[in-house]
A = this chain, B = another copy of it.
Amino acid sequence: MEDIESKWTEIEKKVARSAFEQAYKREIEALMQQVQQKISTLVELDDIWRLHDFLSARRYEVEGKYDYQYPVLLFVFAGLIKDGWLHLTELDGLDKDKLSKVAALSRM
């Protein structure tokens, strides 16, 4: 099972890219909805600063999380599954050792 993080076939790369983009799309859509909801309740300056705090935290989280680099991709997928942005079945097509590792990591 060594070095499975680094070796990706062309098919695996397609599956991975598609799953990654799907999760990103879902999370961003959810974020847009959250922002729209917060915006609808803006009344005073403190609300704006609270929106700013929220955006700071989410930006840091989103930009850090969506790191498409093969050596760390199984960890990224495990996190996305854990957070509900991806289903393990959407990774069908990956090598079974990779799938096992993602599944195990996502339960940690």
Residues of A within 8 A of B (CB): 28, 31-32, 35-36, 39, 42, 44-45, 48-49, 51-52, 55-56, 59
Contact = CB atoms under 8 A, between A and B. Distances in A.
Contacts of A52: 52, 55-56, 59
B55 A51 contact: yes
**How many monomers of this chain does the complex have?**
2
Contacts of A36: 42
22 contacts: A28-B45, A31-B45, A31-B48, A32-B42, A32-B44, A32-B45, A32-B48, A35-B42, A35-B48, A36-B42, A39-B39, A39-B42, A48-B55, A49-B55, A49-B59, A51-B55, A52-B52, A52-B55, A52-B56, A52-B59, A55-B55, A56-B56
Contacts of A48: 31-32, 35, 55
A98 to B, nearest CB: 28
